[in-house]
Amino acid sequence: MAYLIDGNNLIGHLKAGAGVGDPENRAELMATLLDFQQVRRTKIILVFDGRPPDEGPRIEVNPKFAILSPEPGESADAVIQRLILRQADKRRFFVVSSDREIRDFAKARGVRDLSAAEFGRELRKALREQRNRKEMRKTTEPPSPLEVRLWGEVFRKKR
SS (HEC) of the chain: CEEEEEHHHHHHHHCCCCCCCCHHHHHHHHHHHHHHHHHHCCEEEEECCCCCCCCCCEEEEECCEEEECCCCCCCHHHHHHHHHHHCCCCCCEEEECCCHHHHHHHHHCCCEEECHHHHHHHHHHHHHHHHHHHHHHCCCCCCCHHHHHHHHHHHHHCC
Closest alpha carbon to 23 in 35, 11, 14, 36: 11
Question: Both ends of the chain: CA-CA distance in Å?
Answer: 62
- Which architecture, in CATH terms, is 2-157? 3-Layer(aba) Sandwich (3.40)
Please state the pTM of the whole predicted model: 0.78
Query: For 135-158, what is the mean pLDDT?
Result: 78
Domain boundaries, the chain: 2-157
Residue 4 has pLDDT above 70, yes or no: yes
Per-residue pLDDT tens over the stretch 47-99: 998 776 566 677 888 899 999 988 888 899 999 999 999 998 888 899 999 99
